[in-house]
Structure 1
Amino acid sequence: MKVLPSSAWSKADIGRFLDQAITPMRISCCDNDGFPIICSMWFVHKDGALWAASHRNSYIVKVLKKSPKIGFEIATNEYPYHGVRGKATVTLLNDSVENVLETVIDRYLQGSNRSLSNWLLSRKNDEYALKISPQSITSWDFSNRMEGRK
């Protein structure tokens, strides 16, 4: 993963942010008509890759099978704004090997919605793990310029 020189944070700082961020990741890819589509996904950061899960019949999986190149962003929704964005390639894997679905459910729901968790897990055999391998990544952090302005 190449960290761009304009990045506000180091590679280690980016890794720490990705390990702690609980906001969904937004990915963008091109549809068949050449227009971009955007999809929000739960993710986990592991070994330099971002991992997500999606049903095999989902629209995003169909698009990624044709073109695995994406843009992504993970950012705070609260003041002061900061986050990361980059370009990546996606590899679709059988999720029963990776157990990504269980990991992201635990990370985002934290046991708070057992019925949703059970429903999502009931479809586990039909899930793909999305291994998102950043090719380039950068961060931004508006903390200093927003200090005292809220």
Structure 2
Amino acid sequence: MPTWTGAWSEAEAESYLWERAIPIRLGCRTPSGGLWMLSLWYQYRDGAFHCATGADADVVSYLSADPGVSFEVSDNEPPYKGVRGAGTATVTHDDDKEQLETLLVRYLGGTDNDLADRLLDADRKEVRIRIEPSKLYTWDFTDRMRDADRG
């Protein structure tokens, strides 16, 4: 069970993660020890982040070499708020592309579009990435930024 700290309760944080259709920013290490960051679509359920990517994506080999990750899901516009943490990633095959299809519906509203056609192509190999958090931290600068003028 992960440790939750910060501005929100676990229930508030989970609500934020379920409601926001923004990418998760994922940090990991390359096999040579370098740092790498990427953004992925996610679905938060059962206390974990569920993502998908092509089986030939560089991050697949990176996570196979070192499954330790950091992550952040946060708003890009003020007032800034979000969830960040650390955990372990597990990569598995997604032959039926079920996770990808779920993410296409979550982020694009369905699979009736050119991007979905390309990603769901029968010849394209897909994997699932499950991120099991060990630590989660929430922040919310709404009060701090209440009178901030962006214009």
State the TM-score, normalizing by the size of structure 2: 0.91
CA contact (8 A) 1:101 1:124 kept: no
Over 4 Å off, 4+ runs: none
Structure 1 pair 147–9 and aligned structure 2 pair: CA distance change class (3 A): same
Which consecutive unaligned segments of at least 5 residues does structure 1 have? none
Letter matched to residue 2 of structure 2: K
Moved more, 102-111 or 38-47: 102-111
Change (3 A) 1:83 1:66: same
Q: Equivalent residue for 1:85? A: 84
Mapped partners of 2:56, 2:122: distance in 1: 11
CA distance in 2, matches of 1:69, 1:24: 19
Q: Tell me whether 103-112 or 32-41 shows the greater mean CA deviation.
A: 103-112
Deviation at residue 16 of structure 1 after TM alignment? 0.4
Identity %: 34
| Runs (5+) with no aligned partner, structure 2 | none
Alpha carbons 1:28, 1:39 under 8 Å: kept: yes
Cα-Cα RMSD? 1.8
Q: Give the Cα–Cα distance (whole angstroms) in 1 for the partners of residues 94 and 37 of structure 2.
A: 22
- Distance in 2, matches of 1:63 and 1:112, equals 29
Matches within 5 A, 1:1-150: 1-5=1-5, 7-96=6-95, 99-111=98-110, 114-122=113-121, 126-150=125-149
Distance 1:10 1:4, change over 3 A: same
Task: Give the secondary structure class of the aligned counterpart of 1:103.
Answer: helix
Q: TM-score, normalized by length of structure 1? A: 0.92
Q: Report the 3-state secondary structure (helix = DSSP H, G, I; strand = E; otherwise coil) of the residue aligned with 1:143.
A: coil
SS in 2 for 1:148: coil
* Structure 1 stretch displaced more, 118-127 or 16-25: 118-127
Cα deviations across residues 17-47 of structure 1 (Å, max 9, x unaligned)? 1101111100001112322100100011111
Please give the alpha-carbon distance, in whole angstroms, between the structure 1 residues aligned to 2:129 and 2:76: 24
User: Could you say which structure has the higher helix fraction?
Assistant: 1
